[in-house]
Every structure is written in C-alpha cells, then in structure tokens.
Structure 1
Amino acid sequence: MEPTLVIAATSLLGLGLVAAALLRAWEGWLALKRRELDAISRGDAAPDDTRGAGRIALADLRERIRKLEAIANGVDL
C-alpha cells in the first residue's frame, strides 16, 4: 500500500473518533441542561452555587445602576 493512502486513512479514522467523542460530550451537556430546566420548571430550589452566583450578578447590576444614576445626576465618580 502507498504511504499516502495509509496516512489519509489513519487521519480519517482519527477524525471520526474525535467527532464521535465530541458528539457524545455534546449530548451529555444537553442532557444536563434539560435536567436543569426540568428542575426549574418543577420549582425545585437551585443548587447553592447558582444561588451565590445570582447574588453576585445582582450586586453587580445594582452597582452599575448606581453608577449610571450618578452619571445622570452629573456626579463625578
């Protein structure tokens, strides 16, 4: 067999394996997100780590609003 053909076949096989692994990871990620959405729709409490992240995001938004109000009022920060 010709070396170029062997290299091409091996590369194609490797690409197929990588694509299969990525597809499996993608399906797992989608399943995780579906479970999260189901939990939210049932009204289950969010995990502690997401509640903390939500509080941080809320504090960040409040700080941005405070800064925008100060700019609107002409106060130099």
Structure 2
Amino acid sequence: MMSDQIVTAAASLTAISIVAFAMLRGWHGWLTLKEHELDRATSGKAPEREVDTGSALGAARIELSDLKERIKKLEAIASGVDP
C-alpha cells in the first residue's frame, strides 16, 4: 500500500517537473522572440508600412475617410450651407 503511494507521488512529481520544464523553455523562447523584435525596432530599420504590405486595413481607412467627407457634405447641405 505504501509503495503504491510512493510510485504515484514519484510519477506525479516527474510529470509536474516535465510540464514545468516545457513551460520554462517556452517562456525563454517567447522572451528571446520579443528581444529580437525590440532589437529590430531599435536598430533603425523602419517597420513595413501598410502601403508596402498591401494591408486591407489601409483600404478600410481610406473608405472610412471618404464616408466622413460625404457625411460632412450632407450635413452642410442639410443646414443650408454651401460646401
């Protein structure tokens, strides 16, 4: 009975140690990745712009800007001011 408990405790301790080691390796890898990102950002190399990468976010911003202009024109027309 006592030996079964010792085996279970040892197996549990081993499993916890393996999981903790794997998590620690992952944490160190993540920190290394963030250090590389910071080094790249401070090395003077400009980050890629949305225009260069062709992001859809840039197109959405342009469309939003156009909509805001149209709203301003419509508000001016509604209030009787010539735009």
Give the TM-score taking structure 1 as reference length: 0.60
Unaligned runs of 5+ residues in structure 2 are 75-83
After TM superposition, list the pairs within 5 Å mapping 1:39-58 onto structure 2. Answer: 39-46=40-47, 52=53, 55-56=54-55, 58=57
2:55 counterpart SS class: helix
Shift of 1:23: 0.7
Unaligned runs of 5+ residues in structure 1 are none
Corresponding position of 1:8: 9
After TM superposition, list the pairs within 5 Å mapping 1:62-77 onto structure 2. Answer: 62=61, 65-66=64-65, 69=68, 73=71
Deviations 1:2-55 (A, max 9, x none): 3233112201211111111111111111111111111110112547xxx63xx4
Corresponding position of 2:31: 30
Q: Aligned partners of 1:34 and 1:63: how far apart in 2?
A: 34
Q: Aligned partners of 1:9 and 1:34: how far apart in 2?
A: 37
Counterparts in 2 of 1:10 and 1:42: CA distance versus 1, 3 Å: same
Aligned length: 68
1:2 counterpart SS class: helix
